[in-house]
Amino acid sequence: MAAERATALVIRGTDWSETSRITTLWTREFGKVRALAKGGRRLQSSFEVAFDLLTVCEVMFLRKAHGGLDLLTEATVRERFPQLRTDLRVLYCGYYFAELLADGTFDYDPHPQLFDATLETLRKLGNPTIDRPAAVSAFELVWLRELGYSPRLEECAVCGTPVEAGVRVPFSPSAGGALCPKCAPSTADRRWLSADGRATLGRLATDGDTLPAGVRTELRQLLSQMVSSILGRRPKMLAYLDGVG
């Protein structure tokens, strides 16, 4: 077993025994890592409070050669996002991000940009003036892009035919983008995407500071449907995101 060191965000935890715990980590260097922390539930554990959900840690673990759980040997807290402990709306957003990372990524499939975007968004959410729906939507778009599912807005997601610019278009969350007139009738989950919503969606991943009121509901519903389609179910935490603005 080779020892590895990484910067990690705690995204899930499960008690394993009276003294040990299984923790799921989203690491910058290795992607998702699931590891057993022997003695991690003891009051005098050397892991401090590193198992708290949405805590950033520096970790050391022994990587198993033939599958199974890795063995966590060291975890030191680096960042804790204090706003998560004082604002329930921010906490719900953080739990939603953790759910997408835990259930929508593969073990040992690193995405450094997604790791950085997660921490940056958690930090921004502590600002009381931030547009939270915009921040959540921008994070979803980074998650979609890193998994290879960026919404296709300029060409048909089914056949690749260019789609007319600057107009309302049919859009399929399951197909992952806009639809041409030929493909739209045969796509069961098609919905309309307004011209303003389409333009906003195109810039949101790189300019996620604001989500105009006129397209907010439209884009939140659309992105929620895309995320649900990829996961194969509706994320549990989506039900708690209403009113996060």
Q: In the predicted model, what is the mean pLDDT of the chain?
A: 90
Backbone angles phi, psi at 226, to 5 degrees: -65, -45
CA 105 centroid distance within chain: 9
Q: What is the pLDDT of residues 107-138, one digit of tens each?
A: 999 999 999 999 999 999 988 889 999 999 99
Residues of the chain with CATH 1.20.1440.120: 83-240
Residues of the chain with CATH 2.40.50.140: 2-79
Average pLDDT over residues 162-166: 95
Amino acid at 129: T
Q: What is the pLDDT of residues 41-68, one digit of tens each?
A: 444 455 555 678 999 999 999 988 777 8
Looking at the domain that runs over 2-79, which CATH code has it been given?
A: 2.40.50.140
CATH architecture of 83-240: Up-down Bundle (1.20)
Q: What helix, strand, coil percent values describe the chain, rounded to 5?
A: 35, 25, 40
Provide the H-helix boundaries in the chain. Answer: 88-103, 112-124, 132-146, 195-204, 213-231
